[in-house]
Amino acid sequence: MSERKAALVTGSTSGIGLGVATAFAKAGMNVTLNGLGDPNEIEKVRAALAAETGVEVRYDGANLMQPEACAGMVDSAVGAFGRLDVLVNNAGIQYVSPIEDFPVDKWNAIIALNLSAAFHAIRAAMRPMKERKYGRIINIASAHAHVASPFKSAYVAAKHGILGLTKTVALESAAFGVRCNAISPGYVLTPLVENQIPDTMKARNMTREQVINDVLLAAQPTKEFVKIEDVAGIALFLTTPAADQINGASLSVDGGWTAQ
């Protein structure tokens, strides 16, 4: 078994997930990446991160829409490194539409990836973490885990669910050295957010600039996008001894959005 801590970060081939995985690798953890994208580009990312940090970086292309694939991904990560210290559930998709027009397949997909995949991964990780009496589970939620926005019924429902899952797991695992917390970012200019701008333009009959200023950043008092590094820094902090008594919490990184 490696003496290095081992982390698994879902949805980590770009955006927030890659930022978190990078922070972990720079801190000396072995890392399993997971996510979608061009295989050649993913391999470049994996190899570059390993070369830069000197840790072992592996990639698992599990389809998180499938429960058995989620469990298999966790089992494979444990087998590769002999341990799993940190699990970050970050993978997610978005779709923007009035509820009466919301496609049922989009609802099912968002719930499957944004909520159910986290359940399946945590379920698979809990036994090995309990056996070692150590684990840190971090669920990337959203300001939408606390408040709602129009036209995002599935995403808001999933993120509220993630917060409930976080609290329940935190209570169940507290006596076993396992901590479960959520990070709730405001708007981060990731591919997920970029991709929803055209849909929001259409749904609200707005220009791109209006969507950014009057919709995305309207609720964030700082009027600034949250940076990927902001979220990654909080995730890394939650793996340190200073965070040992943080359990079942949602740490908001939203420029003050949910303080209103």
Q: Which of 59, 95, 155, 187 is catalytic?
A: 155
Say which CATH architecture domain 6-187+226-252 belongs to: 3-Layer(aba) Sandwich (3.40)
pLDDT tens figures, 104-144 = 999 999 999 999 999 999 999 999 999 999 999 999 999 99
At 190, is the pLDDT very low, low, confident or very high (cuts 50, 70, 90)?
confident
Least confident of 78-82, 181-185, 202-206, 253-257: 202-206
State the burial class of residue 209 (Cβ atoms within 10 Å of its Cβ: 0-12, 13-18, 19+): exposed
Going by C-beta distance under 8 Å and a sequence separation of 6 or more, which residues neighbour residue 24?
7, 9, 31, 86, 235, 236, 239
Of 111, 211, 29, the residue nearest 12 (C-alpha):
29
Q: Where are the alpha helices (DSSP H) in 82-145?
A: 104-111, 117-132
DSSP E strands: which ranges in the chain?
A: 6-9, 30-34, 57-60, 86-89, 135-140, 178-185, 250-253
Contact 31, 24 (CB under 8 A): yes
pLDDT tens figures, 38-84 = 999 999 999 999 999 999 999 999 999 999 999 999 999 999 999 99
155: annotated active-site residue: yes
